Amino acid sequence: MLDLGGFALLAGEVLRSLVSVRPSLRDLVYQLYFIGVKSQSVVLITGAFTGMVLCAQAFFQFQKIKMESGTLALVGVSMSSELGPVLTGLMVAGRVGAAMAAELGTMRVTEQVDALRTLATHPVDYLVIPRLLGTLIAMPLLTVEAVAVGIGSAYIVGVHFLGIDATYAWAHMLKYTGKIDIMMGIFKGICFGMIIALVGCYKGMNCREGAEGVGHATTEAVVTASIAILMSNFFLTMALRGLFKT
Amino acid sequence: MIEVRDLKRSFGTHCVLDGVSFRIDAGESVVIMGRSGGGKSVLLKHLVGLLTPDAGEVLVDGRNIANLGERQMLEVRSKFGVLFQGAALFDSLTVAENVGFALDRSGRFTPMEIAHRVAEILEMVELPGIQDKKPSELSGGMRKRVGLARAIVHRPSIVLYDEPTTGLDPVVSDSIDQLILRVCEQMKVTSIVVTHDMRSARRVARRILYLRDRRIYLDAPTEEVFASTDSAVHRFVNGISVPKEITF
């Protein structure tokens, strides 16, 4: 409960800062580079292999009922609306959320956060806002990238290794993967980005003293963000599907 | 002017400060001394609003800052410069970026003006030409000097020093003390130094506050403190332990 109260206070301070303070462009660009560019390899590998294994499994099941050409349709819908954003979120939570908690936690225990405050700078303005904006911009882009690579990899595996007819597979995928699936993936990417940045920053800025405290904060940031992503994904799916009646 | 009235602060069930009161006038050079873990740094953090008291008042130029919000405190803190125990330099920034941080964030100076002011202040702390170094490349004494440069670059009226000579050899400690005196004289600032280094306290203080048993036990001019016949004060300034009283 204390955590939830503190988290709500941080979220309120972030909102206040977003409307009143202009973030430093230099800090924002650095965060975009760290979160977006440096996460490329992790996200690409995750997207590619998830797409490939999903294609293979779907093919083996569809083969039993002679529906192999529907394989890519299943991959397209699953990757766009569920697996793409969720797996990207989990990977970014592990890489970026942990780094945020560790960096801010170390700054806190070495009094650098106190030093910021004595230099008339609000820690939320200087430390949280660039990280939050960087994650909010990078996450949907990384999600789209993971989805595209996943579907591309599935196409290669399905058509070239498993022998699915390319024309039918492609046509079925386009028919069943709607704009709503893609928009849902992008929207979830933004939501998950917000969760990762806020949880990572909150855990870092509230970590206990010493190396053990920083270690705990880092672990808690990853675990909390991952669970929040998985839980919110269900509610987001139900809400968005209900909203668009699909 | 800083005035503390009946300040109380506990962490959980552990009471650290219990009715601390004192007053420091503008331009004074005061040392707060006391045993390790006795609450000196906690008291210092209350003066700049980094901690809020459980009870009591902290008045800065007549304004009670004890219950101000974080954003209201930002304005009050521009009057302060703080040198932290471990210098607390920002690891990711260069020396120039660290020292010029407050000027850059204020948005009132051009990059040329900031660079000029940073060079000037680094010259003052006798570290010219190290603008491009990272904090990890500096020795303990250099870090303290850069921390001091960062604390005074925006010309504060009050400078707080948290254990400025801890962990330094006697020669470097002396040079830091000389620097504190020079900053006090040249910039006409109020200096509040927290330390348990008696050599340093004797050099930089005009007045000493002795924090003992969670309260100000003694508030007196430096020479009076060092000449005190009170057994607790005498033992502390001369570093004489009483085994049964050791509580570390």
pLDDT along chain A (246 residues), means of 10: 81 91 89 94 96 96 90 94 96 96 95 94 94 96 96 95 91 91 95 96 92 94 96 95 76
Q: Which helix (H) or strand (E) holds B190?
A: strand B190-195
Share of chain B above pLDDT 90, in %: 67
Structural domain count of chain A: 1
Residue A2: the pLDDT is: 55
What are the b/e assignments for A43-80, b being 16+ CB within 10 Å? bbebbbebbbebbbebbeebeeeeebbbbbbbbbbbbb
> B183: closest CA among B210, B211, B147, B219?
B147
Question: For residue A12, is it within any domain?
Answer: no
> In chain B, what residues touch A118 (CB-CB under 8 Å)?
48, 50, 77, 80-82, 151
ipTM of the shown complex: 0.90
Instruction: Give the pLDDT band of residue B166 (cuts 50, 70, 90).
Output: confident
- What backbone phi and psi angles, to 5 degrees, belong to B217? -80, -35
Question: For residue A185, is it within any domain?
Answer: yes
Tell whether B70 lies on the interface with A, counting CB pairs under 8 A: yes
Tell whether B74 lies on the interface with A, counting CB pairs under 8 A: yes
> In chain B, what residues touch A112 (CB-CB under 8 Å)?
88-91
C-beta atoms of A111 and B75 within 8 A: no
Residue B245: the pLDDT is: 61
Q: What is the pLDDT of residues B91-122, one digit of tens each?
A: 999 999 999 999 998 888 999 999 999 999 99
Residue B181, pLDDT above cutoff 80? yes
Question: For residue A88, is it within any domain?
Answer: yes
**Domain residue ranges in chain B:** 2-245
| A122 vs B74, B81, B154: nearest CB | B74
Question: For residue A18, is it within any domain?
Answer: no
Question: For residue A6, is it within any domain?
Answer: no
| A120 vs B45, B74, B90: nearest CB | B74
Question: For residue A3, is it within any domain?
Answer: no
| A120 vs B45, B102, B150: nearest CB | B102
As a whole number, mean pLDDT of residues B61-81 equals: 90
Question: For residue A79, is it within any domain?
Answer: yes
Q: How far is B42 from chain A (nearest CA, A)?
A: 13
Structural domain of A157: 23-234
C-beta atoms of B102 and A110 within 8 A: no
- In angstroms, how far is CA A2 from the centroid of its own chain? 26
C-beta atoms of A121 and B105 within 8 A: yes
Residue B196: the pLDDT is: 87
CA B168/CA A51 separation, integer angstroms: 59
Residue A238: the pLDDT is: 93
| A112 vs B71, B73, B90: nearest CB | B90
Q: How far is B131 from chain A (nearest CA, A)?
A: 19
Question: For residue A46, is it within any domain?
Answer: yes
Which CATH number is B2-245 given?
Answer: 3.40.50.300
Residue B217: the pLDDT is: 94
Half-sphere exposure of A34 (CA within 13 A, CB side): 20
